[in-house]
Amino acid sequence: MTTDDSYTGSISQQRLSDQVSTITFRATQASVSKTCLVRFDSNKYSVAARAVGRPVEIQSYADRIVIRQDGAIVGEHMRSFGRNQTIYDPWHYVPVLARKPGALRNGAPFKDWLLPAHLERVRRRLKGSDDGDRQMVKILSAVLSDGLAAVEAACAEALASGVHSADVVLNILARRRDPEPIATIITPDGLRLRQAPIADCARYDRLRGAA
């Protein structure tokens, strides 16, 4: 075997190893706690709030953890190899905020939560309002139905207009989601044509001849 053959072989083995590490996983059954957490290898991982109260399957890959319930993914995290760590995805807890909006400030899942730029600007401005937490929860909840990109764009539009309330952001989302129908112009009877015009090039020639 030549040096080139050995080099090619090592590349093929590496690619095969990468594929195996991506495809193979170990499946483990687990229960979901009331705090939307599952335990795996001395660590805890969050799942979507809707998964609470029913069993899940934890699929552990070399680099990540995928959690499924009835075949649907309810959680996915980079795998932690430490001990006694809790790994949160803040979006898993957004539905819970509807009942406890104050948790947005003090809840462990939301500590050091980095939001997209315009969403973060809206959150900072709402902090000065008496109902700022509740308004921010409404905006965050819209992400679950409209998507993060759409809500971020709505926040950007609101801020550009000098406002940042939840009502304005949600109104922008609704307008983009359901654009107003094109208005139909009704022609008054007095302006309706009684006889459709007929193209007559010969008439044009006659007018030129008369000139």
Q: What is the pLDDT of residues 39-58, one digit of tens each?
A: 999 999 999 999 999 999 99
pLDDT of residue 12: 52
* pLDDT attached to residue 8: 46
In whole numbers, what is the pLDDT of the chain averaged over residues? Answer: 86
Q: Which residue has the higher pLDDT, 87 or 198?
A: 87
Confidence of residue 182 (pLDDT cuts 50, 70, 90): low
- Residue 19's pLDDT band (cuts 50, 70, 90): low
Buried-state track 39-60, b at ≥16 Cβ within 10 A, e below 16:
ebeebbbbbbbebbeeebbbbb
Whether residue 164 is predicted with pLDDT greater than 70 in this model: the reply is yes
pTM: 0.71
- Spatial strand order of the sheet with 26-30 comes to 26-30, 56-60, 64-69, 72-78
Per the model's pLDDT, the better-predicted residue between 118 and 24 turns out to be: 118
Q: Residue with structure tokens 């090039």?
A: 201
Q: Does residue 66 carry a pLDDT above 80?
A: yes
Task: Note the pLDDT of residue 210.
Answer: 63
Of the candidate ranges 15-19, 22-26, 30-34, the one whose mean pLDDT is the lowest: 15-19
Q: What percent of the chain has pLDDT over 90?
A: 67
For 130, residues 6+ apart whose C-beta sits below 8 A from its C-beta are none
Which of the four pLDDT bands, split at 50, 70 and 90, describes residue 15? low
Asked if pLDDT for residue 132 goes beyond 90, the answer is: yes
Average pLDDT over residues 172-180: 85
> Does 21 score more than 60 pLDDT?
no
Whether the per-residue pLDDT at 119 is higher than 70: the answer is yes
Mean pLDDT calculated for residue range 14-39: 78
